[in-house]
Amino acid sequence: MEPSTAEMAETTDAVALALARATLYSALALGFRSPTEETIARLGSQDAAATLARAAVLLDPTREFGLAAISSLLTPNSSLLTLSASHRTLFGHTARGAVPPYETEYGVEGLFQQPQEMGDLMGFYNAFGLAVNVQQHERPDHVSCECEFLSFLALKEAYALEHEDTAMLEETRKAERLFLHDHLARFLPAFANKLVRATNPHPYPLPLGEGEGKGDFHGFYRALAELGLKFIAAECVRFGMPAGPENLTLRPADDDRVPMACGSGTECAAMPGACMPEEADSV
């Protein structure tokens, strides 16, 4: 029996929503990684802003969802030089920078579950044919890695809808809900709120040499945090689950059972753990 016009339209709408979610997750993943020229190219152009705005409007037709944050992601001061300096100031070179971007740094109730949490994350990635990219030198609990995984799942959801693969669709949506509940939605509200507080506007001369002028040094990361807060809140509503608390105690700094972010890369290869899971098989 051929699907009706209404059923085809409903599927098309669902595919568009899944792709919009993938777009926003991908933007968050890219934005929270160490900045490169790709960050500027994919998030700094007018075309990129328009694409993100269309995705946000599609997910929230009231046009309140994240549009202000998207419009202010990259300001005139957001060169690669300023983004890199801001990223170092906020996140540092280890797991315990001013604003830790690692899930297992949040919540003392999980103090004795750090290895299990890492194992659970890797289990999710491996279950979908993904392997960690050791070249990124990051742990699997980095916020960008978790956003990248959910972007992949949203793309897989769109693929399942387009191909009317009910089993794949059910499996993917179940994984999305579990991963959000157990991982990203648990700690991102606390992480993002901490990031917003650390990036409150206070114009001052940028410590980057002559010609940089004055400006909102951390504006990009504050806008990214605000976008993440709105988007994850909407995702939790979509799946009918509560978001994590806005304040989570950081685990004690002297608890060294979870390794710091890697320097040379050899530690990461042995761990393993890296940002941006690499796809081993097609969706």
pLDDT in tens, 204-262: 444 444 334 345 778 899 989 999 999 999 999 999 999 999 999 888 766 555 443 43
Angle 82-84-85 from CA coordinates, rounded to 5° = 65
Rounded CA gap, 250 and 66, in Å? 27
Taking the complete model, does pTM exceed 0.85, yes or no?
no
Percent above pLDDT 70 for the chain: 73
Rounded CA gap, 30 and 228, in Å? 12
Q: 3-state DSSP call for residue 162? A: helix
Structural domains of the chain in order of their starting residue, each with its CATH number:
5-279 (1.10.3480.10)
**Residue 237 amino acid letter:** V
- When pLDDT is averaged across residues 37-49 and rounded to a whole number, the result is 85
Side-chain half-sphere exposure of 17, counting CA atoms within 13 A:
14
DSSP letter assigned to residue 278: E
Q: Which of 4-18, 36-50, 121-135 has the lowest mean pLDDT?
A: 4-18
- Tokens 């409150």 locate to 200
Nearest to 143 by CA among 120, 121, 158: 121
- When pLDDT is averaged across residues 121-149 and rounded to a whole number, the result is 88
- When pLDDT is averaged across residues 180-206 and rounded to a whole number, the result is 85
Task: Kindly indicate the confidence band of residue 137, based on its pLDDT and cuts at 50, 70 and 90.
Answer: low
H or E element: which one contains 259?
A: none
Q: Are 246 and 189 within 8 A, CB to CB?
A: yes
- When pLDDT is averaged across residues 59-87 and rounded to a whole number, the result is 77
- What pLDDT does residue 128 have? 95
